[in-house]
Homo-oligomer: A and B are copies of this chain.
Amino acid sequence: MSTDYCFNLALRKSSRLITQFYEDRLSETGLKVGQFSILRAVNYTKETTNKELQSILVLDQTTLTRNLKPLIRDEYLKLAPHPEDGRLKIISLSESGKALYERAEPIWRKTQEDLQKKIGTNETDSILALADTFVKTLGDK
**A residues touching B (Cβ–Cβ < 8 Å)?**
1-22, 33-34, 37, 40-41, 44, 57-59, 108-109, 111-113, 115-116, 118-121, 123-124, 126-131, 133-135, 137-139
Contact = CB atoms under 8 A, between A and B. Distances in A.
Contact of A15 (B15, B20, B116, B133): B15
A10 B130 contact: yes
Given A13-B131, A57-B13, A128-B10, A137 B119 contact: yes
A79 to B, nearest CB: 22
B112 A58 contact: no
Given A21-B138, A129-B126, A138-B18, A112 B13 contact: no
